[in-house]
Structure 1
Amino acid sequence: MKKPIGLITDNPELLLYLDGKLHITVLGGIKLTGFDRLKVTLKLVNTDDKLNVFRHNLDLYNSIQAEQLIEKSADALNIGTREISTAITGLTTSLEQYRSERLEAMKPKQPEKKQLSEAERKAAIAYLKNPDLLGRTKQAIGQSGIVGEETNALIAYLIYTSRTRENPLHLLCLGASGTGKTWLQEKVGELIPEEDKLEITTLSVNAFYYFGKDELKYKLLLLEDMDGAEDVLYPIRELQSKRKISKTVTLKDSKGNPKTITLQVEGPVCISGCTTREQMYEDNANRCILLYMDNSPEQDVKIMDYQRKMSAGLIDRYAEKKVREQLKNVQRLLKPVSVKNPYAPYLQLPEAVFKPRRTMLLLLLFTETITYYHQYQRELKTDEDTGEQYIETTIEDIQAAFSLLETTLLKKSDELNDACRDFFEKLKTYLKEKDTDTFYSKEVRAAFRLSPSSIGRYLYELERMGYIKIAKGSRYKGFEYKIQSWNDLENLANDAQSMVKSILENIQLVTRIPPVTQSLNGLHKMQKISGERPVTHE
């Protein structure tokens, strides 16, 4: 009776292929990576003569090596070359299928979308109709376990909300080691439904290209450490700008013939990452809204107080979890809808902002995202020419966008990077307290507990930019420095605030579009315009 033909995979390190009287063992199994090769170590046995064994190491995709295997094993085992050739072809096909199945099984299972109960649905809708939706969301974020970074967390939450839009926003959390950037990203990520996000610790060079074509579409991608992801910065930028990436690779078929295939991954995708090195990721940072972590002593006190309460069991973890689930349900009820901003022609940026084109785009997209988040409080309108349905931005949305992004816009107007700016502001406060405008680096280094390399870097940058100058001294006895600019940051802030105030005043004067008002129960008063109706969510 003929023995069954097939691949036995009970032991991944010792695969067995049976073909009649020929038994082939794949010693050590196969590598699951590298689709352009199929290297194996084979042990061939003729069951009519089990003491006669033939062993060979080869790449099954190499036709020359495969032909040599067939000829030599046929002579050694006293089996016809045609029989062995058929077995090797069947083995190759079975190993390819086995590799594909293993790789598919190793992929993380995407959580199924949660089906909300009627009570959860009603609670989420009532939440989205809250008259002070942004204020209520900020409060809930604080109640979810995020301490002292509520404004940054609200910005991140809104950015993550944009993942379902055709032009999503992207986020880069900046700060020195230990300032909580990864923690903030992780905690805000917990407010997004599991089925809509993908958390990644590290990525290899080509990792992005091996996702499924639509696997990342409308997803939130959380990169824990951008400092360890230098190799994937280019595909990240391409996903952010072009919303798709592709790569052409050469593979070999079962006969060893080369063939070309194109791997393509499509977005849009919302990308969030953390880094300590703002300058290194300038190209990526220009495509992102930047969040600067609060490293003030007051924030340290808040964090440590929360840690102590957590250790003492004084934090209601169940209440925090309940708030997180509520915010997830709110996200699940947001539906794709177009946004138009009738006030966009009147928006401007401070002249001091670097790379204003991309900054303006980020401001417009962030404003649209705020409108999108308020979709249950906006009327659904229809474009008479195209039939497209959309909701409109209000003046309140613009005010909220400018208010939330005030720090980001200010940083983008500042010549100094964040670390150098923090040092300079602390230095000015220190000197004002001592009622002087001069200092020695040794004195300041001791007062701020900085390393010689750090203070040297800060002083060099400040002197180069003209914020300080050398008053006297030498490199042997030490230099005495003098502050040249005391109010530069205040002037930047005042200019930005004046510009925003002027923009809002101009909008009020030139536009005839009345703002949407809201009643106390969270329902907006409908404008009596033919063909318009509120956004409905079936």
Structure 2
Amino acid sequence: MDKISPDKGETLKSLFQTFVTGINNIKATAPRHFLDSIGLDFQKLHLGFNSGQFHHRKDNSFKAPFIELGILTKSDAPVRDNSMTAYTVFGDYSIIFPLKDKNGNITNFYAHRFKIQTPKGEYLNNEGIYPCFPSKRTTRLFLTENVIDSATLIQAEVLENRDAVIALRNGELTDDIKKAIEQLAELTQILVIGKEVCEVLIEQLKSLTTAQIVYAVSPLDSLNEFWLNHGTEGLLMFLEEIEPSANSTGFQMISDQEFFFKGQEVSYHIRGVISQNTTLLELDFEIEVDRSGDVLRDKFDLLKELETKKKIYFWTENNSLNSSQIILELKEIKAELDKVRREQGKPDKQRGFSTKQDKLAKQLLMSKDLFGQLNELIGKAGIVGEEKSRLLLYLISSSYKFKYNLHAVIHSEDMTTGSELATKIAGLIPETEQYYIDITSSRTFRYYGNSKINNKLILIPDYSGVTSSKAINDLKCLQAKGQIISDAPTKGDNGEVVTNRTEVNGHSSSIGACKNSKKYFEGQPRTVLVSMDNSSEQMQRLMEYDCLSMSGQIDEKAEEQAKELLQYIIRNIHPLEVINPHASALMLPLNVTNARMLTLQLNCFVSLVALFRQHQRGTDKQGRIVVTKEDIQTGLDLYLDALMVTIDELDAGTRDFFDKLKVLMMSQSEKEQTKLTSLDIQKALGISKSHTNRFLSILLDHEYVQKEGHRNQGFSYVVTNWDESNTIKQMILERLATHHDPNTMGHQNTDRH
């Protein structure tokens, strides 16, 4: 087929966009289930679905370019009207993988027809490469027999920096693949993975490159099948085993900082620490000529090829050595040192896609007791206590995926415990979808661009790292509106001062702990304030867990499995639209502070609850999830305590102190008339003097307690406002109970169906 013109390239691009829309359609369950069965994520791999109907009800001018490209072919199939023409569609009812040219433009399609009795793949033409042309800086290239196996390597995330993968055309090289390999000047190794060794292919590759060629036979029918059975860890072990051993190449690793390589004419003694910076590979070399004993001692950075070649040419000219052979040997040494670097810098091996965990996640999402099981699973993941708030925080943390995103701020007097809770909750979200912030400068958020935090969970364990730099206002703007638009003056080349506009977009959720949550976040439209359990019973549970952990009695493997399952649950919840026909039932009374803002928050949270139940119900005609009264009940049960923290004029720490003080007063013989000194309260509650005086001062300002006595005789305190919090809570419950059973409001949800 002739080279595709720009117009035809645009045709393929626009057609592929319809295929992408097709696979996202709510009705396209069959292709998504097929991809789930082979462990591929259509969003990550950017795949499409051809239902074979894109040309229906279109005129001849629309069909003409597709007929020219061979996507539509006239057919003799019967039609209902003689004026109509039947067409055979390329890749009818198939998963579409785009192939690209060297400029990154779509130039071909691979269609995997999964619905027919014997699934097969077909190409539109002979052009392009899947997934794309490799970077010119590629040092290691994987060649697989088919597109599915190449997609598997990408999905499994086993490719290192400067690795690339290409899918062969039915096990053979095309002209585009040959051209791509020829332009890889820094290539040191090609790993070919297939069902059997092909000598013809090896000879073809040798004629294209001087890189080392290694052929491996897949242990099962395909690389994809092997990955599904053995996971990413098994796939990594397989890839490591097929690479030649150090001894077979003449390379020996004497220690972490000393290496030896035996070449044809010279021997290489190499010393130094291998940097984990992948842009640097500088070590001390002693290159000794075997026949004369002459030695070159120099420092080589093997990534600076031109500089290395100059040194070698100059030295070999005076010693009558084959400079080309030595340069080839240095490339081999570089490949071996790269492998050592990967091993030294490799963290604990992460699991790839697990079909077992994915299946368990789908089963759990279908459970009638969904939220009860989720809460239990969160506990198994190592989050002790906090039974209601931990589930609330998990749902809010996951909201970055959806239109109804929220942000959680945990109020904590003990920042160690608060930060630990925030970090553990964030650990239940896929790691690739998190963004960690510890300390930041005042204007950092203004230069984030549009991808750094978009559709991610922002983890800020301790907000003091943000508040101390005065970046908190920018962060609050980003949380509230999802964007920051800022103007800044700059001086142009001609000396004139001009204004430049910077725009940052970041649809995200966030979680973090803050000591002054009321001060910084009160009145923020999408920020939910959450209090921690500061009871002595909770502190006892945490200390018992710490002791069990230190003594090795915690099953860390079971905790990791629980975390992983919760991450797979997040992956299986799709960002659908939600419609709430009962939204008016969630209107808060107007005399509640920030009633409109909190009503919107409550509606967003109920929408999150409905999204988690999407696998248990269908959608309406517009593909939307419809909120039920059961969703509202669950949302209220989880959100009500956070709502009370937000509307409370006291911060969570002071409220906790006041509740304990009331219990202490009622335990005395005089009950509500009890008067206690500051020292009595300190001793009874086990709180420091500074904290006690600060809390009492706040309570005095808000007229919750009254101070009696004289300076010479000492002061005592008496509670004057006993039930204001319960009064407000009861008022809200009565307002919301208009559409619900008041006897069940505010109690833990049991997820009854």
TM class by shorter chain equals: 0.5 to 0.7
Tell me, yes or no, if structure 1 residue 222 matches structure 2 residue 462: no
Are the counterparts in 2 of residues 179 and 295 from structure 1 also a CA contact under 8 Å?
no
Matched, 1:168 2:405: yes
Greater displacement, 363-372 / 419-428: 419-428
Secondary structure of 1:302 counterpart: helix
State the alpha-carbon separation in 1 of the partners of residues 523 and 725 from structure 2: 25
1:487 corresponds, among 713, 723, 730, to 723
Q: 1:120 to 1:434 in 2, by over 3 A?
A: closer
Amino acid in the other structure paired with 1:122 = K
| Paired position in structure 2 for 1:96 | none
Shift of 1:179: 6.1
SS for the counterpart of 1:142 is helix
What is the Cα deviation at residue 241 of structure 1?
A: 2.3
User: Which digits, 9 at most, give the CA deviation of each residue in 1:396-415, with x for residues without a partner?
Assistant: 11111111112112223433
The aligned counterpart of 1:392 is: 626
Aligned partner of 2:627: which letter? T
Answer yes or no: is the 8 Å Cα contact 1:402–1:500 preserved in 2.
no
Could you list the per-position Cα deviations for residues 357-405 of structure 1 after superposition, in whole angstroms to 9, with x for gaps in the alignment? Answer: 211111010000111111111211124xxxxx21111111111111111
Q: Which residue of 1 aligns with 2:653?
A: 419
Q: Does 1:367 align with 2:606?
A: yes
Separation in 1, partners of 2:702, 2:488:
48
Q: 2:698 aligns with which of 461, 465, 474?
A: 461
1:478 aligned partner = 714
Aligned equivalents of 1:171, 1:132: Cα separation in 2: 25
Q: How do 1:287-366 residues align onto structure 2 when only pairs under 5 Å count?
A: 287-350=526-589, 353-366=592-605
Give me the whole-angstrom Cα distance separating, in 1, the residues matched to 2:584 and 2:643: 19
CA distance in 2, matches of 1:262, 1:320: 47
Question: Is the Cα–Cα contact under 8 Å of residues 125 and 330 in structure 1 kept in the other structure?
Answer: yes
Aligned mates of 1:10, 1:171 — CA distance in 2: 41
What is the CA–CA distance in structure 2 between the aligned matches of 1:257 and 1:467, rounded to whole Å?
60
Q: State the Cα deviation string for residues 291-337 of structure 1 (Å, max 9, x = none).
A: 11111100011011111111111111001101111111111122110
Q: 1:179 to 1:410 in 2, by over 3 A?
A: farther
- Once residues 440 and 586 of structure 2 are traced to their aligned partners in structure 1, the CA distance between those partners, rounded to angstroms, is 39
Q: How much identity, in percent, do the aligned residues show?
A: 30
Deviation at 1:500, TM superposition (A): 3.5
Corresponding residue SS for 1:482: strand
**Do residues 202 (structure 1) and 439 (structure 2) align?**
yes
CA distance in 2, matches of 1:470, 1:194: 52
Partner of 1:135: 372
Aligned residue in 2 for 1:410: 644
Indicate if the aligned counterparts of 1:233 and 1:284 stay in contact, CA closer than 8 A: no
| Aligned equivalents of 1:283, 1:481: Cα separation in 2 | 29
- 1:92-145 deviations in whole A, cap 9, x for unaligned? xxxxxxxxxxxxxxxxxxxxx997344343222112111111111000000001
Q: Tell me the TM-score normalized by structure 1.
A: 0.68
Helix, strand or coil for the counterpart of 1:381? Answer: coil
Residue 191 in 1 paired to residue 425 in 2?
Answer: no
Instruction: Compare 298-307 and 208-217 and name the one that shifted more.
Output: 208-217
DSSP-derived class of the 1:469 partner: strand
State the Cα distance separating 1:258 from its structure 2 match. Answer: 6.8
Q: Structure 2 vs 1, CA of residues 475 and 356 (structure 1 numbering), >3 Å: closer, same or farther?
A: same
Q: Which residue of 2 aligns with 1:83?
A: none
Aligned equivalents of 2:644 and 2:496: distance in 1? 58
Structure with bigger RCO (C-alpha 8 Å, 6+ apart): 1
Hey, what does 1:503 align to over in structure 2?
739
Q: Distance in 2 between matches of 1:463 and 1:221?
A: 37
Aligned counterpart for 1:377 among listed residues 576, 601, 616: 616
Tell me by how many angstroms 1:517 deviates. 8.9
Q: Residues 173 and 504 from structure 1, CA distance in 2 versus in 1: closer, same or farther, beyond 3 angstroms?
A: same
What SS does the corresponding residue of 2:502 show, helix, strand or coil?
Answer: strand
Equivalent AA in structure 1 for residue 725 of structure 2: L
Residue 738 of structure 2 aligns to a residue whose secondary structure is helix
- Normalized against structure 2, the TM-score is what? 0.49
Find the aligned partners of 1:251 and 1:377 in 2 and give their Cα distance. Answer: 55
Secondary structure of the 2:405 match is: coil
Partner residue, 2:669? 435
Q: Secondary structure of 1:447's match?
A: helix
Q: 1:324 to 1:282 in 2, by over 3 A?
A: closer
Shift of 1:477: 1.2
Q: CA deviation at 1:257?
A: 7.9
**8 Å CA contact retained: 1:182, 1:224:** yes
- Which of 167-176 and 116-125 deviates more? 116-125
Comparing 190-199 with 113-122, greater Cα deviation is found at: 113-122
CA distance in 2, matches of 1:442, 1:114: 55
- Range 202-211 or range 481-490, more displaced: 481-490
Is residue 469–residue 482 contact of structure 1 (8 Å, CA) maintained in 2?
yes
Q: Which amino acid aligns with 1:303?
A: L
Unaligned 5+ residue runs, structure 1? 1-8, 13-112, 384-388, 509-515, 519-538
Alpha-carbon separation, structure 2, partners of 1:283 and 1:490: 21
AA at the equivalent of 2:369: D
Q: Is the 8 A contact 2:415 2:513 kept in 1?
A: no
Q: Does structure 1 conserve the Cα–Cα contact (< 8 Å) formed by 2:577 and 2:624?
A: yes
The whole-number CA distance in structure 1 between the counterparts of 2:542 and 2:439 is: 27
Deviations 1:182-225 (A, max 9, x none): 11111111110112111111111221222232232111111122
> 1:445-500 CA distances to partner (integer Å, 9 max, x unpaired)?
333344444333333332333322244x2122112333223333333343344334
Which whole-Å deviations, capped at 9, do the CAs of 1:240-284 have from their partners, x for residues lacking one? 222111334455678988775433221211122211012320357
Q: How far apart are the structure 2 equivalents of 1:445 and 1:120? A: 50
- The AA in structure 2 aligned to 1:490 is N
Report 1:270-281 matches (<5 A).
270-281=509-520
Distance of aligned partners of 1:254 and 1:495 in 2 relative to their CA distance in 1, 3 Å threshold: closer
The answer to whether 1:241 aligns with 2:480 is yes
Please give the alpha-carbon distance, in whole angstroms, between the structure 2 residues aligned to 1:460 and 1:255: 59
* Rg larger for: 2
Match of 1:181 in 2: 418
